[in-house]
Amino acid sequence: MAESALLDPVALEAPPPRRRGRNALVVTVSLVVLVVSLVVAVRIGVGATWAEIGRAAGARLGLPVVPLPRLLDSLIWNLRLPRVLLAALVGAALAVCGAALQSVTRNSLADPYLLGVSSGASTGAVVVVVLGFAGSQLGVTGGALAGALAAFGLLMLLLRRTGLDSMRIVLTGVVVGQLFAALTSLILLSSGDADSIRALTHWLLGSLASARWTSVVVCAVVLAAGLLVVWLCSSALDGFAFGADTASSLGIDVRTTRAVLLVTTSVLTAVAVAAVGAVGFVGLIVPHGVRFLVGPLHRRLLPLSAVVGAVFLVWTDALTRVVFAPLEVPVGVFTALLGVPLFLLVLRRRGEL
Amino acid sequence: MRIQVEHLSWGVPGKTIVNGVDLVVGDGETVGLIGPNGSGKSSLLRCIAGLRTPTGGVVRYDGADIASWSAREKARQLAFVEQTADTDSDLRVSEVVMLGRTAHRSRWRGPDAADHEVVAAALDRLGLTALADRPWKQLSGGERQRTHLARALAQRTSALLLDEPTNHLDVRHQLELMELASSTPQTVVVALHDLALAARYCDRLVLMHGGTVVADGPAADVLTAPLLRAVFDVEAEIGRDSLGHLAVGYREPVR
């Protein structure tokens, strides 16, 4: 056959310019916004002047400046800075988890919180705390990881007959989440005293108030590794768009890739939950916004979701410190207030509401 | 690439869907799989594509058992186009076609200039160049089907497996697609419902019924009134149209 028979006469129109330049701009702008957000957020709610912030940083860096009074220095260095950094790390981790899960499950409503993974992690962490290992960050993280994997395992078990490609996954996730939430309440009420119940409840709602450097370090290391693993699966995540058979025929080992991604997102979720409790909806909100900016390809979507997720949680956390000051609202309450309308919007666009 | 299917069986618990199929497709040949709904065409095609693990028998490509290949190796040797592969994602046409390059590059790098060239050539071959930047949701059924075929071509494989690729296409695009399937140097196995189209473009037809091959040969030998009566439960008359192509006419079904 003459090959030209397959050519429409109109096919010679030049394609529009590539979006490469725009992508570079989006990445640069978002990184700048992240750095500025981190710096500004450190100051919000501390009551220190810019000069004092500068002196605190300068003294730590060994510059010849007058050091701050010990109390203020400690406030900035040991409370505020880790808190802001932790918000950034957790926001990034949850956003990356959301983006990955939405592709793996082919469901735009997937998010570690909505799938019940966060609830499982909470249960695991609470068990460890109640057993008396509250002081050990690694112990709490380990408990959260066991809980997250248990929740994910249960979810997959319940979905094994119906597959991953339906609304059923979100409904099943909600059921799993409810189960683990009930378990958490049961454990709390049967073993804790009033004070520890209040502290744990506050943490369960997602609070950054207790952020310390140990959590920052653990989160930073796990996030870096997790982001790399997920990013290396970028082409597979793109390929999942048309379902398992097409993905497989593209050369993706569907089973292995799925397992790697589900375990990695569970680990990321567990570390985030162990550090700050169950903060919901970040994984839902951020990837949707970022897809709007750079399109659905994961090579770009994942890193940018991480940056935007970081900025998002840093600012949401700053809001929690300011809006009802001096009362501090758990950050999870704020992300839920923002996330629920978006959830409904996505549902409506899919024509299921 | 020569495809050999030996005593292949596949099924779900309690039901055998493909039952002891033997089939040889020569290098560069275009073979049409025909048969009624549920005759096992799609399942057989999926086994040949290595997407299902047979419960019995083997599929060989140039003698090599496909079960010994990794997913990546398979995707470099054969491309498969599903009947309906849809997505909620906002991928553009060129991005979907680029998915065909997945098995050809390392995890660490994105598409390079060579990949873009292959994609451009595949888009050109299917007349999709003007639609390269169009989002998936804005495509018609036929444009989606052609995009998947362009993606399969971008895999640059020596075998091409197509499951009812002409389903959503208008007449002109059906003819063009089948023309492409029969003229490409690739070995092609294509499941089809349209018997006349199958007869016109395939070197050989394989008629399936109840999971087994009931006839295998040139169109004129396979499309006979007794065979069509036995397999499709229709009274057919086989003749030639005014252009000399094989034509199939059907009588009203008798109740």
DSSP string, A101-141: HHHHTT-TT--TTTTTHHHHHHHHHHHHIIIIITT-HHHHH
Q: Is A97 exposed, middle or buried (0-12, 13-18, 19+ CB in 10 A)?
A: buried
CB atoms within 10 A of CB B164: 20
Per-window interface: B 50-79 vs A, CB < 8 A? 51, 70-76, 78-79
A326 prior amide bond cis, ω within 30: yes
* A86 membership: H or E segment, kind and range: helix A81-104
> How many angstroms separate the CA atoms of B96 and A296, rounded?
11
Which residues have C-beta within 8 Å of that of residue B62, sequence separation ≥ 6?
B1, B2
Residue range B27-50: average pLDDT?
94
Q: Is A303 or A51 the better-scoring residue by pLDDT?
A: A303
> What is this structure's pTM?
0.88
**Listed range (A164-178, B16-30, B83-97, B126-140) with the worst mean pLDDT:** A164-178
The answer to whether the CB atoms of A249 and B107 lie below 8 A apart is no
> How many angstroms separate the CA atoms of A61 and A253, rounded?
48
pLDDT at residue B222, rounded to an integer:
93
**Is the minimum CB–CB distance between B154 and chain A shorter than 8 Å?**
no
Domain ranges of chain A: 107-353
pLDDT at residue B132, rounded to an integer:
94
The answer to whether the CB atoms of A241 and B176 lie below 8 A apart is no
Q: Is B88 or B49 the better-scoring residue by pLDDT?
A: B49
Q: Using one digit for the tens of pLDDT, what is the confidence trace for A13-29?
A: 333 445 556 777 888 88
Q: Using one digit for the tens of pLDDT, what is the confidence trace for B25-37?
A: 999 999 999 999 9
State yes or no: pLDDT of A10 exceeds 90.
no
Question: Which is nearest to A129 in space by CA: A42, A191, A219, A205?
Answer: A191
**Is the minimum CB–CB distance between B129 and chain A shorter than 8 Å?**
yes
Question: What percentage of chain B exceeds 70 in pLDDT?
Answer: 99
The nearest CA of chain B is from the CA of A227 a distance in Å of: 13
Q: Using one digit for the tens of pLDDT, what is the confidence trace for A26-61?
A: 888 888 999 888 888 887 766 677 788 788 778 877
Residue range A305-334: average pLDDT?
86
The nearest CA of chain A is from the CA of B71 a distance in Å of: 5
Q: Is B127 left (phi over 0), alpha (psi -120 to 50) or beta?
A: left
pLDDT at residue A190, rounded to an integer:
82
The nearest CA of chain B is from the CA of A238 a distance in Å of: 7
The answer to whether the CB atoms of A233 and B90 lie below 8 A apart is no
Under the banding of pLDDT at 50, 70 and 90, the label for residue A133 is low
> How many angstroms separate the CA atoms of A305 and A288, rounded?
9
Question: Which is nearest to A191 in space by CA: A136, A140, A131?
Answer: A131
> How many angstroms separate the CA atoms of A347 and A333, rounded?
21
The answer to whether the CB atoms of B89 and A5 lie below 8 A apart is no
Q: B113: number of CA atoms within 13 Å, CB side?
A: 0
pLDDT at residue A293, rounded to an integer:
85
Q: Using one digit for the tens of pLDDT, what is the confidence trace for A228-275?
A: 999 999 999 999 999 889 999 999 999 899 889 988 999 999 888 888
As for the ipTM of the complex, it is: 0.90
Q: Are B153 and B126 in contact (CB under 8 A)?
A: yes
**Is the minimum CB–CB distance between A15 and chain B shorter than 8 Å?**
yes
pLDDT at residue A311, rounded to an integer:
94
In B101-173 the beta strands, taken as DSSP E runs, fall at 159-163
The CATH code of domain A107-353 reads 1.10.3470.10
Residue range A344-351: average pLDDT?
74
pLDDT at residue A248, rounded to an integer:
93
Residue A262's alpha-carbon distances to A14, A85, A123, A266, A282, in angstroms, are 41, 25, 19, 6, 18
Set of chain B residues whose Cβ sits within 8 Å of the Cβ of A6: 125-127, 176, 179-180
Structure tokens at A145: 């990881």
Question: Which is nearest to A246 in space by CA: B133, B5, B150, B99?
Answer: B99
Please give the class, per CATH, of domain B3-87+157-250.
alpha beta
Minimum CA–CA partner of A10 in chain B: B130
Of A1, A241, A254, the CB nearest to B183: A1
State yes or no: pLDDT of A166 exceeds 60.
no
Under the banding of pLDDT at 50, 70 and 90, the label for residue A1 is very low
> How many angstroms separate the CA atoms of A21 and B204, rounded?
51
Residue range A82-87: average pLDDT?
91
